C-alpha cells in the first residue's frame, strides 16, 4: 500500500519502539511485504534465511531483528520482533472498519448499479457503473470495482489474507492492509472467494470471467480476459497473464507466474511457473504432449511387469 502522504521515519520508529540504523532523516512512502516492495517502502524480515532477499530488495526501509550495517541506500529499523512492528504499523494505517448497515455510508456506488437484498457492501468500497451485485454477496471494506461488473450470490470479495506467523504454540495473524481491485467487465460466479492483499492489491483484470467456487489468494494478479472454471484454486502472490484458461479443479501454488494464453487442463496443478502459449496437463503439470506420453507409458507398466515376470 502507498500512503496518502509520506510519513517521517522517526515517527514510525517511535510508534513501533524501533531503533533506527542508518539515515534517520528519510520519509516512508509505502508499506509492503517483500514480494511487492518498491522504492520508498518499508518491509520486514525476521529470519536469517531471508535477510539477503530483504536487504537486496527495492525497499528503502526494513524492520529487522539483527543489528547490522545497512546496505547503501537502505535504512534499518531494529526491533526484537519485526513482525509485530510491521503489523502494528499496518493496523494503524488501514484499520479494520465496521458498518451497522448493509450498505455502508462511505460506500460509493455508480449510476445504473443494482444491489440486490441481503448483499453487504462495506466501508470505503467503490463500485462503478452498471454493475449487478446479487443476494448474499459480501464485499469487504476498501474493495474497488470497475464498471459492468457482475458478482453472483454468496461470493465474498476482500476477505482477510491467509497469512500467519507460527509461534510454536500458536499462530499470530498478519493484519490485512491490502485491497481487492476488480476491473471493468469482470463476472464472478456464485460462491467465489477473493482474498485482499496483505498490503498490496489482489487484482482481477478487465473482461476476466470466473465460474462458481473459485478461490483466489492474497496479492495475486489475474490478467485480462481470462477464463477460470469451477473449483479452481489459486494461492497467494500468483501472476496470471492475459487470455489464460484454467479448467475445473486446476490449481496454482504460491509465488509462481503463468504466461499469456496458457491453458491448464482440468484437475491439473503446478508448483512452478508456466510459459505462455502452451497447454498443460497433470500433476505436476507438464506440456500436454509430454504429459500424455508419460500417462501412456504409465498405463503400459502393468503389462510390461507381467512380461518381465515370465522371463
181/208 Cα distance (integer angstroms): 13
Query: What does the block give as the cell for 116?
Result: 440486490
Given the residues 47, 215, 218, 289, select the one marked as catalytic. 218
63 DSSP assignment: E
135/149 Cα distance (integer angstroms): 15
Torsion, CA 9, CA 15, CA 19, CA 20, rounded to 10: 0
**Closest by CA position to 104, among listed 143, 153, 134:** 143
* Rg, the chain, Cα only: 23
Q: Sheet containing 138-139: give its strands across.
A: 120-121, 138-139, 156-159, 193-195, 215-216, 233-234, 251-252, 269-270
Residue 225 bears catalytic tag: no
Question: In this structure, is the dihedral angle defined by the CA atoms of residues 168, 173, 174 and 179, taken in order, positive or negative?
Answer: positive
Question: In this structure, is the dihedral angle defined by the CA atoms of residues 65, 66, 71 and 76, taken in order, positive or negative?
Answer: positive
Q: How many C-beta neighbours within 10 Å does residue 71 have?
A: 13
Residues serving a catalytic function are 218
Amino acid at each position: 500500500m502507498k500512503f496518502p502522504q509520506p510519513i517521517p521515519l522517526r515517527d514510525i520508529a517511535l510508534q513501533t519502539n524501533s531503533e533506527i540504523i542508518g539515515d534517520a532523516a528519510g520519509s516512508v512512502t509505502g508499506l509492503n511485504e517483500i514480494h511487492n516492495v518498491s522504492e520508498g517502502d518499508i518491509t520486514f524480515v525476521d529470519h536469517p534465511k531471508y535477510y539477503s532477499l530483504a536487504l537486496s530488495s527495492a525497499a528503502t526501509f526494513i524492520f529487522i531483528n539483527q543489528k547490522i550495517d545497512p546496505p547503501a541506500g537502505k535504512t534499518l529499523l531494529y526491533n526484537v520482533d519485526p513482525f509485530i512492528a510491521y503489523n502494528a504499523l499496518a493496523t494503524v494505517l488501514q484499520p479494520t472498519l465496521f458498518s451497522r448497515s448493509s450498505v455502508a455510508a462511505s460506500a460509493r456506488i455508480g449510476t445504473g448499479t443494482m444491489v440486490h437484498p441481503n448483499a453487504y457492501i462495506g466501508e470505503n468500497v467503490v463500485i462503478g457503473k452498471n454493475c449487478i451485485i446479487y443476494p448474499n454477496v459480501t464485499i469487504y471494506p476498501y474493495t474497488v470495482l470497475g464498471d459492468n461488473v457482475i458478482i453472483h450470490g454468496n461470493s465474498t470479495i476482500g476477505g482477510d489474507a491467509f497469512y500467519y506467523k507460527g509461534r510454536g504454540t500458536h499462530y499470530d495473524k498478519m493484519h490485512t492492509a491490502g485491497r481487492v481491485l476488480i476491473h471493468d467487465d469482470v463476472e464472478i460466479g456464485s460462491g467465489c472467494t477473493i482474498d485482499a492483499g496483505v498490503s498490496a492489491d489482489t487484482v482481477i483484470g478487465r473482461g476476466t470471467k470466473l465460474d462458481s467456487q473459485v478461490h483466489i489468494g492474497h496479492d495475486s494478479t489475474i490478467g485480462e480476459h481470462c477464463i477460470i472454471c469451477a473449483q479452481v484454486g489459486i494461492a497467494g502472490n500468483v501472476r496470471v497473464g492475459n487470455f489464460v484458461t484454467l479448467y475445473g479443479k486446476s490449481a496454482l501454488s504460491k509465488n509462481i507466474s503463468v504466461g499469456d494464453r496458457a491453458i491448464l487442463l482440468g484437475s491439473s496443478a503446478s508448483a512452478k511457473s508456466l510459459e505462455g502459449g502452451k497447454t498443460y496437463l497433470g500433476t505436476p503439470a507438464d506440456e500436454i504432449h509430454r504429459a500424455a506420453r508419460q500417462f501412456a507409458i504409465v498405463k503400459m507398466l502393468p503389462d510390461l511387469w507381467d512380461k518381465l515376470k515370465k522371463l
